[in-house]
């Protein structure tokens, strides 16, 4: 990386680290399930009554910073998958090839894959029967 590029990236990396540290502090200090929670509720859920793909993420992150992995899965089962795959997509976006079969990198780099995955997850987590009910936060 050139010195000019490093000059641009270093403040951004420092700001991201500070924001991440603040987020961890806030999630460890305040309970999103509490009545006096400073965290904002889901606007879509408040307006429509439907769970969006991100519903439960704040509570899942709260569970994660407290070491409750079962709670993470209970609040948003898609979050652990995203925690693994998003860094892989970023890695691939820098021009590097992912280790493993080529089709995995192609699928993760496809907008169709992400639209189908998130769209299906959004619809299925709002189906109140059978095996789909466990996709709802809670």
What are the pLDDT digits (tens) for 13-45? 899 999 999 999 999 999 998 888 899 989 999
Backbone angles phi, psi at 71, to 5 degrees: -65, -35
Cα angle: 87, vertex 44, 52; to 5 degrees: 40
**What pLDDT shows up at residue 19?**
94
Rg (CA), the chain: 18
If one counts every other C-beta atom within 10 angstroms of the C-beta of residue 42, the result is 17
* pTM metric for this prediction: 0.82
* pLDDT single digits (tens) 59-80: 999 999 999 999 999 999 999 9
Residue 40 CA, chain-centre distance (Å), reads 16
Structure tokens at 31: 């309970």
Average pLDDT taken over every residue of the chain: 90
Listed residue (74, 44, 50) closest to 62, CA to CA = 74
Q: Are 44 and 52 in contact (CB under 8 A)?
A: yes
Question: Comparing C-alpha atoms, which of 68, 108, 61, 101 is closest to residue 85?
Answer: 108
């Amino acid at each position: 990386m050139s010195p000019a590029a490093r000059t641009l990236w270093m403040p951004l990396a420092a700001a991201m680290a500070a924001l991440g540290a603040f987020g961890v502090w806030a999630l460890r200090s305040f309970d999103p399930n509490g009545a006096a929670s400073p965290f904002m509720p889901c606007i879509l859920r408040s307006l429509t009554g439907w769970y969006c793909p991100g519903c439960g993420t704040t509570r899942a992150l709260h569970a994660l910073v407290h070491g409750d992995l079962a709670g993470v899965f209970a609040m948003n089962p898609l979050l652990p998958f995203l925690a693994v795959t998003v860094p892989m997509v970023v890695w691939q976006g820098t021009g590097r090839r992912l280790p493993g079969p080529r089709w995995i990198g192609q699928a993760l780099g496809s907008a169709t894959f992400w639209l189908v995955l998130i769209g299906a997850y959004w619809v299925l987590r709002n189906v109140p029967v059978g095996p789909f009910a466990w996709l709802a936060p809670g």
